Amino acid sequence: MFPFDPAAILPSFADIPLSNYADGTFVEVEFTEDAFALDVGAGGAVTRRRIRNDTGMATVTLKAEAPENALLSALATADRRTGEGVGVFSCTDVLGSTEVLSPVAWIRKVPAISWQNGANVRAWIFDLTDLEITVGSSEPVGA
């Protein structure tokens, strides 16, 4: 059996821990582009082309009531006005070895606001630069 605990996934932005997740997918991180592309010439020759784009994006989905929303909103507002909303984005799986690090990141925009008869969410999208993703694993327990 491999352990998983949503509370052991620790994303943060600009020293703000993000932990009041909505139900479902609450953190998603990916590179903007593939690392390599395949080009095939008219004669069938194949070239493997490196794409040097180490940018990416992260989406963190919080409950609408989460106090982090007010902190992120203040940062996004300051960034729109002054350009000073840049910070480090990271995410670590404490029970495993998966890690994400972007030393220069920012909030793309304030989330869309909607209300429904049920749980409301706020999906924060971050642009990431110099992105490093280590897809790890966790140690089995009870084996």
pLDDT of residue 72: 97
Neighbours of 45 (CB within 10 A): 8
What is the model's pTM?
0.90
In this predicted model, what pLDDT tens digit does every residue of 16-54 receive, in sequence order?
A: 999 999 988 999 999 999 999 999 999 999 999 999 999
In this predicted model, what pLDDT tens digit does every residue of 73-112 receive, in sequence order?
A: 999 999 999 999 999 999 999 988 899 999 999 999 999 9
**Please, which pLDDT band fits residue 140 given cuts at 50, 70 and 90?**
low
Partners of 50 in beta bridges: 36
In this predicted model, what pLDDT tens digit does every residue of 4-15 receive, in sequence order?
A: 888 889 999 999
CA separation for the pair 93, 142 (Å, rounded) = 20
Q: Does position 2 have pLDDT exceeding 90, yes or no? A: no
**Please, which pLDDT band fits residue 57 given cuts at 50, 70 and 90?**
very high
pLDDT of residue 143: 57
Residue found under tokens 């993000």: 18
Cβ-based burial of 62 (10 A; exposed 0-12, middle 13-18, buried ≥19): buried
User: SS3 for 81?
Assistant: helix
